[in-house]
Amino acid sequence: MKRMKELEKQNTQLARLVARQALEKQVLKDIAEGDLWARPRCGAPCVTQYASSA
């Protein structure tokens, strides 16, 4: 039983790591595409791009 708890804890940690890496990958992709002010996935309104006001 103790080993099972250890494995569950490790699995949780690995899942968080994978989620963090996926988020970082998406952020880097957005930056590379110049999509810094992309519409949030929650459906909130877009923010006008900073570059267009310069």
Question: Cα angle at 24 between 45 and 11, to 5 degrees?
Answer: 115
The model's pLDDT over 1-52, given as tens digits with 9 standing for 90+, comes to 999 999 999 999 999 999 999 999 999 998 898 876 655 666 555 555 444 4
* Contact (Cβ atoms closer than 8 angstroms) between residue 36 and residue 49: yes
Q: What is the pLDDT, as a whole number, of residue 51?
A: 47
The pLDDT of residue 38:
59
What pLDDT, on a 0 to 100 scale, did the predictor assign at position 40?
62
Paired tokens of 6 = 């250890």
